């Protein structure tokens, strides 16, 4: 299956470089380029790409606001120069499926696009440790009935997400089809009011430390 990607960045040279990297792979197709957040939302709503590679600082509408607007339309992978807590936490709260820095090498960027397209989450290693400690503490406490509303299988899937397992790995561990795993992930996110599996992973880690 070809992964359809929209690249959103206000610098034409950066967009061109990203497109050059992605177009060199047979399983990835760049379907559009946006120069600002408003254009990214409009193009994604029309083209329905699998992944939007989104910059943070853009005119008219910033990347975080654009990510929030694209919830339920496309998975967003943030690609930014700025390793700032405000941007990391803001992007993940808005529903971004991943967060990478622009100094990421070409192969890692391509792999990240594939990971997000599979429905998995991905965070730059340089920000993961402080993300778990700082962002985890800021996740609103879930009322007991919200957690209790999960089925036993959804509880198992949530625990696997908290351990950092991909959908493929969860399917193997719990002995079920990958498509079924994706359905469980989608349902538990909806039940818990979460926008991404990254938020689910942080919540799962919170729950595990409370036991």
Q: In this structure, what CATH number is given to the domain that contains residue 197?
A: 1.10.10.10
- Picking from 16-20, 26-30, 102-106, 163-167, which range would have the lowest pLDDT averaged per residue? 163-167
CA atoms within 13 A on the CB side of 1: 8
Last residue of some domain: 84, 108, 133? Answer: 133
Block residue for tokens 């967060």 = 99
Give the pLDDT band of residue 110 (cuts 50, 70, 90). very high
Q: Which residues contact 133 (CB under 8 A, 6 or more apart)?
A: none
pLDDT at res. 30: 96
Percent of the chain with pLDDT over 70: 87
One domain, residues 67 and 124:
yes
pLDDT at res. 127: 66
Q: In angstroms, rounded to a whole number, what is the distance separating the alpha carbons of residues 9 and 79?
A: 9
pTM tops 0.95? no
One domain, residues 124 and 148:
no
Q: What is the mean pLDDT of the chain?
A: 85
Residue 86 burial by CB count (10 A; 0-12/13-18/19+): exposed, middle or buried? Answer: exposed
One domain, residues 154 and 206:
yes
Instruction: Enumerate helices (H) and strands (E) in the chain, giving the number of each.
Output: 11, 6
Count of structural domains within the chain? 2
One domain, residues 29 and 124:
yes
- Read off the pLDDT of each residue in 48-62 and give the average, rounded to a whole number: 94
- Picking from 62-66, 93-97, 141-145, 195-199, which range would have the lowest pLDDT averaged per residue? 141-145
One domain, residues 161 and 61:
no
Which domain CATH number covers 65? 3.40.50.2300
Sign of CA dihedral 14, 15, 18, 23: negative
One domain, residues 10 and 89:
yes
Mind listing the pLDDT tens digit for each residue in 124-178?
766 666 565 665 555 555 444 467 788 999 999 998 888 878 888 899 999 999 8
- Read off the pLDDT of each residue in 181-190 and give the average, rounded to a whole number: 88
Which of 111, 85, 91, 89 is CA-nearest to residue 37?
Answer: 91
Give the pLDDT band of residue 70 (cuts 50, 70, 90). very high
- The CA radius of gyration of the chain, in Å to the nearest whole number, is 17
pLDDT at res. 131: 62
- pLDDT of residue 46 exceeding 60, the answer is yes
- pLDDT of residue 107 exceeding 70, the answer is yes
- Read off the pLDDT of each residue in 187-204 and give the average, rounded to a whole number: 81
Sign of CA dihedral 104, 110, 113, 119: negative
pLDDT at res. 146: 67
Q: In angstroms, rounded to a whole number, what is the distance separating the alpha carbons of residues 133 and 149?
A: 26
62: containing domain: 3-133
């Amino acid at each position: 299956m070809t992964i359809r990607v929209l690249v959103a960045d206000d610098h034409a040279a950066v967009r061109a470089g990203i497109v050059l990297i992605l177009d060199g792979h047979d399983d990835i197709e760049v379907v559009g380029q946006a120069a600002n957040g408003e254009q990214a939302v409009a193009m994604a709503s029309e083209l329905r790409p699998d992944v939007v590679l989104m910059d943070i600082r853009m005119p008219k509408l910033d990347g975080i606001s654009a990510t929030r607007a694209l919830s339920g339309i496309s998975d967003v992978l943030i690609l930014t120069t700025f390793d700032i807590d405000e941007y990391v936490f803001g992007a993940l709260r808005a529903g971004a499926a991943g967060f990478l820095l622009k100094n990421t090498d070409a192969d890692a960027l391509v792999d990240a696009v594939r990971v997000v397209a599979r429905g998995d989450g991905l965070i730059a290693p340089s920000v993961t440790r402080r993300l778990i400690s700082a962002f985890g503490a800021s996740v609103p406490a879930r009322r007991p009935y919200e957690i209790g509303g999960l089925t036993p299988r959804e509880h198992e899937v949530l625990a696997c997400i908290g351990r950092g397992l991909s959908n493929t790995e969860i399917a193997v561990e719990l002995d079920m089809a990958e498509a079924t795993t994706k359905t469980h992930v989608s349902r538990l996110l909806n039940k818990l009011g979460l926008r991404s599996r990254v938020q689910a992973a942080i919540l799962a880690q919170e729950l595990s430390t409370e036991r």
